[in-house]
Structure 1
């Protein structure tokens, strides 16, 4: 089953459809309602012979009109971000601990490391609170602006790491830190998987929502697997680099 909303309106300009669906998503319009809207637009375009732009005007403005009556905003629940915050903190701890484990056997806990932990723990909650305006800002701007915005948080983080690496807080055995961090990260993954699903696929009127939901979950699972694999690969490369540099 295709999860591409454009398949519900094949005779509508894809760029117009993409702008419409994006704005509807940003305004918390449910997937089944989006499916209804796309089907109605497709039918009107075929019957009238006009374009969606001529019939409904600007896609973003039309999405605003639809959202006034169809949107069902979901309140932000900070508990949804707890697994991601814990997982990120555990990953940082495991990565730093593993690097120290294979070199000296002891991890020197610095202010820089603590700063990174604070940043990765806070980030999910910030994204939850300001994710929608940030996403709108990114997708409506140039690729250069998007790249600068994404990279912006890295600059103060790197500065904190560089400034704080000379401030030692404690020396810890690397093995327990590594294993404990890995256990926390794994527990966070399990906890995140047990949270209520956030998938809300676009479904045509009368469509099989359960099948669409299952397909969306499979797609999310594949994306999670790929992301986890990339993170693990980066961690391995980082540890190898630390080992080589320490020789």
Structure 2
């Protein structure tokens, strides 16, 4: 039982390492199947037979997607969605109260903090995946920046750097979020079938259950759902 638990952890780590290296799902499935078959023949634990999962993944040679392909396909749309959501949140309160949207330099700097952190994600993605505290710290910084941006928001037009009509920003950012969510839903539906991890021995796929697919769709529509919740809250509190 202990060996099975240890081997499962090792294979989970191997899949993560190969995904970080942009290895295609079918190649990952072949690698995992070959390793499991060897372990069945030898009876050895995975760590003993192959060494640390990270080192084993690094030693394998696979054709991988272009190094920055995921940045273009996933990161930049996510970054645009985050920016649209942050701008929507700034505009929604002013719109529901029929006031101008007041903006200060300090407020813009704080709103830019989570955008910059997401934009720099390729530089520290490995640390986020391998160390839970790094992801928690990044999320905490983003949350604090969001709270502080509301605290430093101007209350009088004379204190604001910009005073603008919130309606175009509200409508524009809402449309951006919806369009991106539709695009991500279509893309993830196509990519799921093309890049699944398939065991060549059993023909089964990993991580493609109903729960996993629902989670993907919820993630795709996260910003519009949160924006709708913020709109409802603003209308209730006006």
TM over 0.5: yes
Give the root-mean-square deviation of aligned CA atoms.
3.7
Task: Show the counterpart of 1:182.
Answer: 174
Partner of 1:203: 198
Q: For 2:212 and 2:95, locate their aligned partners in 1 and report how far apart those are by CA, in whole Å.
A: 34
Cα deviation for residue 217 of structure 1 reads: 11
Give 5+ residue unaligned stretches, structure 2: none
Counting only pairs closer than 5 Å after superposition, residues 1-247 of structure 1 correspond to structure 2 as: 13-66=7-60, 69-70=61-62, 72-77=64-69, 79-80=72-73, 81-127=75-121, 129-138=122-131, 143-144=132-133, 146-156=135-145, 158-159=147-148, 162-163=151-152, 165=154, 167-193=159-185, 199=192, 200-205=195-200, 222-227=214-219, 231-232=223-224, 234-239=226-231, 241-242=233-234
Is the 1:12–1:45 Cα contact (8 Å) retained in structure 2? no
- After superposition, what is the alpha-carbon deviation per residue over 1:32-76, rounded to whole angstroms, capped at 9, x for unaligned? 22211211122122222222233223322222222xx22525221
Contact 1:35–1:203, Cα closer than 8 Å, also in 2: yes
Distance in 2 (CA, whole Å) between partners of 1:97 and 1:160 is 13
TM-score computed with the length of structure 1 as normaliser:
0.70
